[in-house]
Each structure stands twice: as structure tokens, then as C-alpha cells.
């Protein structure tokens, strides 16, 4: 009976049964388990390297932003100084203008034959001088207020730069913590083998 799976000498041989004492079947699962653990370990290394690179990138970004803030701070402080100087100069020019107006008033009164050292003419020139000084002080005060506002913003930028720098991460620590985080699942998988 050829054709039914039998040979002329009897039934076909039976296939070998798997054994539990280290036969081919259990050896194969150990190989697969070892390969899986190796892949998990490689994944942990890649994850740690990624965390290292991410921390380095974060630090570069924070340093760049902090440097821009520091540069803006320096510019704003310079601007504040310029505003203060401009205010002082405008105040000085206002005083000169007021003195000129007082001089014109005195000259006009004197050319009319009025005494300029007493009476209403003196009151008018003193009032003009007082108003001119008040205007000069107002100009200087406004410039000082504007300058202080700009300085306050500049100081705030410096604080922000310091805060950004304080958020830097240690790349080595990031890599180690990421790698350690992967050890738990790896150990659990190893215990199942």
C-alpha cells in the first residue's frame, strides 16, 4: 500500500515528543527570551541616550533665551540712562529759556521807564522764573519716571534670564534616571523567564 503514508515495512515512524529536560523546545524559548531581554536592554540604552540629548538640547535653548534676555536688559539699561540724560538736558534748556523770557520782560519794563527791582514788574519776573523752574523740574521728573520704568523692566529681564538658567538639567543625571526607569520592566520580564 503505497500512497497512504505506509511503507512496505510498516507504519511511518512517530515524530519525537518534546522533552522538558533541556530539549530543543525549551532551548528555543530561552533563546527568544534572551533576545527579548537584549532588545529591551538596547531600548533602555537608546532611551537613556535620548534623555541625555534632550537635556543637552533643553540646556542650549534655555541658555540662548537667557542670553537674549541679558542682551535686552543691557540695551534697556542703556536706554534708561539715555532718557535720564535727555531729561536733564531738556530741563537745562527750559531753565535757559525761562531766563531769556525773564530778561526780555525786564528789558521791556526798563525801556518803558518802569523800575524792574520792585513792585509788579518784580512780581511778574519772579513768577515767570518760578514757572520756568517748575517746568524744568517737571521735565526732569517725567524723564526720571520713564527711566525708572525702563530700568524696572530691565531688572525683570535679568531675573527671567536667571530663572531660565536655573531650569538647566544635568544630561548625565537625565540619562541615568531614564536608564534606571527602564530596569524595572526589564527585571520583571527576566523574572518571567
pLDDT values of the chain reduced to their tens digit, one per residue, 193 residues: 455 555 555 566 666 655 554 444 445 566 666 677 777 777 778 888 888 888 888 889 989 999 999 999 999 999 999 999 999 999 999 999 999 999 999 999 999 888 888 888 899 999 999 999 999 999 999 999 999 999 999 999 999 999 888 887 787 777 777 766 666 665 565 556 5
Whether 4 maps to a domain, the answer reads no
Considering only CA atoms, which of 67, 57, 66 is closest in space to residue 174? 57
- 72 lies in which domain range? 38-192
Q: How many domains would you assign to the chain?
A: 1
Asked if residue 14 belongs to a domain, the reply is no
Asked if residue 17 is part of any domain, the answer here is no
**What is the per-residue pLDDT for 28?**
55
Residue 161 lies in a domain: yes
Q: Quote the pTM value.
A: 0.60
Q: Could you give the C-alpha distances from 95 to 91, 107, 123, 177, in angstroms and in order?
A: 6, 18, 18, 69
Please tell me the chain's helix, strand, coil percentages from 3-state DSSP, rounded to the nearest 5.
80, 0, 15
State the pLDDT at residue 31.
66
6 assigned to some structural domain: no
Rounded distance between C-alpha atoms, residue 158 and residue 19, angstroms: 74
In a domain, 25, yes or no: no
Whether 120 is in a domain gets the answer yes
Give the model's pLDDT for residue 22: 46
Residue 3 lies in a domain: no
Amino acid at each position: 500500500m503505497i500512497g497512504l503514508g505506509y511503507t512496505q515495512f510498516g507504519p511511518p515512524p512517530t515524530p519525537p515528543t518534546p522533552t522538558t529536560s533541556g530539549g530543543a523546545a525549551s532551548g528555543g524559548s530561552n533563546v527568544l527570551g534572551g533576545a527579548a531581554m537584549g532588545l529591551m536592554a538596547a531600548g533602555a540604552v537608546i532611551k537613556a541616550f535620548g534623555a541625555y540629548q534632550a537635556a543637552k538640547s533643553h540646556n542650549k535653548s534655555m541658555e540662548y533665551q537667557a542670553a537674549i534676555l541679558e542682551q535686552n536688559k543691557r540695551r534697556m539699561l542703556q536706554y534708561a540712562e539715555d532718557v535720564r540724560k535727555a531729561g536733564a538736558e531738556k530741563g537745562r534748556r527750559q531753565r535757559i529759556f525761562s531766563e531769556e523770557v525773564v530778561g526780555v520782560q525786564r528789558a521791556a519794563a526798563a525801556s518803558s521807564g518802569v523800575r524792574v527791582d520792585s513792585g509788579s514788574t518784580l512780581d511778574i519776573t519772579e513768577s515767570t522764573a518760578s514757572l520756568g523752574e517748575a517746568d524744568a523740574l517737571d521735565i526732569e521728573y517725567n524723564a526720571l519716571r520713564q527711566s525708572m520704568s525702563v530700568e524696572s523692566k530691565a531688572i525683570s529681564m535679568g531675573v527671567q534670564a536667571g530663572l531660565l538658567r536655573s531650569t538647566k538639567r544635568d544630561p548625565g543625571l537625565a540619562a541615568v534616571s531614564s536608564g534606571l526607569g527602564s530596569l524595572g520592566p526589564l527585571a520583571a520580564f527576566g523574572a518571567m523567564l
